[in-house]
Amino acid sequence: MSRRPRWWAIGRILVLALILHGVFLGYPFVRLGQWLGLEGPVWLLLAALIFFSQLICRWPLRQVAHPAARFLKQILELFLALSPLVLVLVVSAEVGLYFELATPQRLAVGILSIVLVALPYGLYRGSRPIVQSLNLVDDRLKRELHLVQITDVHIGSRSPRFLKQVLRIVAQLQPDALCITGDFIDQTGVPPDALAPLATLGLPVFFVTGNHERYEDTEDIIVRLQSAGVRVLRNQSVRLRGDVMIHGVEDADSDTQLAQVLPTLTVKDTDLNLLLYHRPAGLEAAADAGMQLTLSGHTHNGQIMPFNLLVRRGVPRSEERRVGE
């Protein structure tokens, strides 16, 4: 009896996942195939590949640390990225069909044309990091402090070449320190040489784990980052300079993680206390513990419609949030 609620919850999650797969990765692509007159075993195989693409990405391909596997994973993940757009276009086309505004084939060709324009634009936008600046004032600082935060870089899904691009931008900004707030690596077996550019920055680099590091070879990831000169903060504090303390808390699924860990760290009111924590949860606990600034990531600001609307509902201010005075 005690196990029933657990299996009931797992069952509901699986049913919900199946429904979402059907809505986003089943129906719209099957309808496109029907309108284009596709049929036979080749089309059935392609439809199955699209439907199960995310399962393939998150299980067999994630276990293979090879450029070919990463490339195939990136291709399959495009179906997820495109699925909301394709769904909206297909539903709109259904309305057009109902009113006999065009033939199914013409509507399908129109949808594919829009997708072929949107895809390279999205890839271009996603491959160019954008620098956002935020100026803060605090009387505890004896002189200016310049920090750069990067988060959710996802090396593994992304190539080491993308990391080099990001670090070139970091170097141009000439910060006093670099803060990495988790999900830096999302695949097992990322080689040490892929992380070697971190050692060439010539500045302090601080890192806290995200959920994706926990999904992979966490301890090996930490060793490789430390070998690249990165200071990994595992529920620890470190003094950056005389007036600045950096506190790092490891990622956890619990909303009370900060409330549990922060009381164990040394926090002085005379310091500027900066907290690194992957997910923007428990910020009230951070403010109560004396943190003047918390840097987080995790949400990607929603990233893909309509998931950005869901993220903003769960995290009312997913880009910037103020707690306390």
Residue that terminates a domain, selected from 94, 126, 158 = 126
Do 80 and 181 fall into the same domain?
no
Do 221 and 105 fall into the same domain?
no
CA distance 169 to 162: 11
Do 55 and 177 fall into the same domain?
no
What's the pLDDT at 227?
97
Instruction: Scan for tokens 């797969």, then name that residue.
Output: 21
Do 272 and 160 fall into the same domain?
yes
What would you report as the CA-atom Rg of the chain, rounded to the nearest whole angstrom? 23
pLDDT tens track for 15-60: 998 999 999 999 999 999 999 999 999 999 999 999 999 999 888 8
Residues composing the chain? 325
22's tokens: 């059907």
Do 180 and 269 fall into the same domain?
yes
Any domain includes 299: yes
What's the pLDDT at 148?
99
Do 170 and 121 fall into the same domain?
no
Give the CATH number for residue 285. 3.60.21.10
What's the pLDDT at 1?
43
Q: Which amino acid is at 286?
A: A
Any domain includes 253: yes
What's the pLDDT at 58?
84
Do 215 and 88 fall into the same domain?
no
CA distance 133 to 135: 7
Domain of 91 in residue numbering reads as: 4-126
Q: Which residues of the chain have pLDDT under 70?
A: 1-5, 302-303, 305-325
**C-alpha count within 13 angstroms, C-beta hemisphere, residue 142:** 6
Any domain includes 279: yes
pTM of this structure? 0.87
Residue that terminates a domain, selected from 62, 91, 126 = 126
**C-alpha count within 13 angstroms, C-beta hemisphere, residue 300:** 16
Any domain includes 140: no
Q: Which DSSP letter does residue 270 get?
A: T
Any domain includes 242: yes
Any domain includes 321: no
What's the pLDDT at 170?
98
CA 224 to chain CA centroid, nearest Å: 21
CA distance 325 to 122: 39
What's the pLDDT at 306?
63
pLDDT tens track for 146-161: 999 999 999 988 989 9
Do 245 and 294 fall into the same domain?
yes
What's the pLDDT at 67?
80
Any domain includes 108: yes
Do 218 and 282 fall into the same domain?
yes
Any domain includes 142: no
Domains identified in the chain, total number: 2
Residue that terminates a domain, selected from 72, 92, 126 = 126
Do 163 and 305 fall into the same domain?
yes
Do 68 and 188 fall into the same domain?
no
